[in-house]
Amino acid sequence: MVQGLKGALTLTGPEACLAYYRDWAASYDAGFAADMQYLLPAHVAAAFAGTAAGGPVLDVGAGTGLLAERLREMGFTGEIDAVDFSAEMLARAAEKRLYSSLFRADITRPLTLPRRYGGIVSSGTFTAGHVGPEAFPNLLDVALPAAQFALSINRRVWEAAGFDRALDGLAREGRIAGLQLIEVEIYGAAAAALDAEHAGDRALIALFRSV
User: Whole-model pTM above 0.85?
Assistant: yes
Sign of CA pseudo-dihedral 139, 145, 149, 155: positive
Q: Between β-strands 176-185 and 202-210, what pairing exists: parallel, antiparallel or unpaired?
A: antiparallel
* DSSP character at residue 25: G
Beta carbons within 10 angstroms of residue 88's beta carbon: 17
Which residue range is the domain that position 153 belongs to?
A: 5-210
pLDDT at residue 34, rounded to an integer: 79
Residue 206 has pLDDT above 80, yes or no: yes
- Lowest-confidence segment of 8-12, 21-25, 199-203 by average pLDDT: 8-12
Total domains present in the chain: 1
CA–CA gap between residue 141 and residue 116 (Å, rounded): 10
With a pLDDT cut of 70, the percent of the chain lying above it is 85
CA–CA gap between residue 91 and residue 104 (Å, rounded): 10
CATH for 54: 3.40.50.150
CA–CA gap between residue 113 and residue 14 (Å, rounded): 20
pLDDT at residue 43, rounded to an integer: 98
Amino acid type, 207:
L
Residue 17 has pLDDT above 80, yes or no: no
